[in-house]
Amino acid sequence: MPKKEHQSSTNKQNKKKLDEFEEQKKFMDEPPDEELKEEMRGERDKFTSKGSSKSERKHKSNLKDRK
């Protein structure tokens, strides 16, 4: 294949890939805005443990059992 034809073929392939990507972008969700991110962080914080982790509690329990 001559070089010019190869470049043309490559350009067509790249254009096709770009077109496919642009088509797929139509169906992608919009990135969440900052307000929504903050709300999600707040929800996540509600369910996180404020105390010791399970492994820390287990370690403390094991230390008490040894005494």
pTM for this model (two decimals): 0.34
Q: How far is CA 57 from the centre of its chain?
A: 31
As averages over each run of 10 residues, the pLDDT of the chain (67 residues) reads: 68 88 81 82 77 78 76
pLDDT score at 6: 66
pLDDT score at 49: 66
Looking up tokens 């043309």 gives 8
Three-state SS at 32:
coil
- Contacts of residue 60, Cβ cutoff 8 Å, sequence gap at least 6: 52
pLDDT score at 3: 59
